[in-house]
Structure 1
Amino acid sequence: MYKVFVNDKPLFLTNKVAKETDFQLFLLESVDIEQLIVKMFNNKIRKAYLYYPDEKEILKKVKEKIPVKKAGGGLVYNKNGDVLFIFRNGKWDLPKGGCDKGEEIEDCSIREVEEETGVQDLIITRKLQKTYHIFKRNGVYRLKITHWFEMTTNFEGTPIPQAEEGIEKVAWLNPEQIKDAMKNSYENIKLLFEEENESKIKI
């Protein structure tokens, strides 16, 4: 099952039919996906399931209905064990961004972290999960698939927010500060920290 966020509301891609309680179920083959997305953006639907019988094919089928934007991002630790955050659009987020044509996803992720925060000397330590969310650009809804990597750095300079990307500040947050930041962050970022929680951070 995949969990796609539409305006921070969950849209599950599933091959199982469950009895509806607090959600609405739609058939992927017949749904007007744009209409469904609009309803979720407008808070008319708060939680939905898209059903398709073949789990291996379900994401491919969604990609046929909505354009995909590939992105890369980093969950970056410094030598003190703090995590690199950006503050944009009134929320705490992790640095990430779209890939250039032909760019390897690892290179994209490192480049985006460097551009958005000014932090350098990044080393990828492991691949994390992908996250999925739908956004609107130039009147078109797109599915953003973000590939996340855990990274480390010995960078000791001052981080610089990329103002032209709307980033207001960059900060290294310790585990206690991360708990507060999660109260004002995105569901996809919370998912990453749930995964990370199993190894390093106790949220």
Structure 2
Amino acid sequence: MGLEFLDVFEQWADSYDESVGGNNREYKAVFAGYEQILEAVTALSKGNVVEFGVGTGNLTKKLLDSGLKVTGIEPSVPMRGIAEAKLGTKAKILDGDFLHFPEIINVDTIVSTYAFHHLTNVEKDEAIAKYGKLLSKGGRIVFADTMFESVEDYNNAIVKAREQGFHNLAKDLETEYYTTIPILKSILENSGFTVSFNRCNHFVWLMKGEKR
């Protein structure tokens, strides 16, 4: 799961919930409508759910509260600790990442928020191929993540972040592996998924892939 960014997850652990709540001006647009984004992912989930990149457990809690069975995967020890403290005995969070994780069976839905961009496009392709083997016909992948309609839109986002003085955001956009919708659409279709995208805010799109 782009473990080269693990130190970033550790740095974000203590301040992540404050940031998603809109208290970090630099990332406010990235997390606009955060609660609604989590609710949209939850609404599209069914059956036995695997969540990659649990983080501090915000989506996990919504999934569990809706009555779904959830197995979480999270590589960051501090993030995992915060999530387990938040969720209590309901938590089942395993050490792992998008590509390397314990054996899981009977998976109906695979979900993630704000994390898939830590994989290169090659790694994204590898991950989706793995999930295609885990899911039966009608199984779903539901991701909410920053992505762009085109390379031009991606480059414009970096320029705008710099102009606004959002240097950390600009650095994130330049160094992490944000992809475009056409590339992600092609990756999912090549692994046997029907895919749709819906915009959530200026940065984040909700992607649903259903296995044919």
Q: TM-score normalized by structure 1? A: 0.25
| Structure with a larger share of its residues in strand | 1
Structure ranking higher in helix proportion: 2
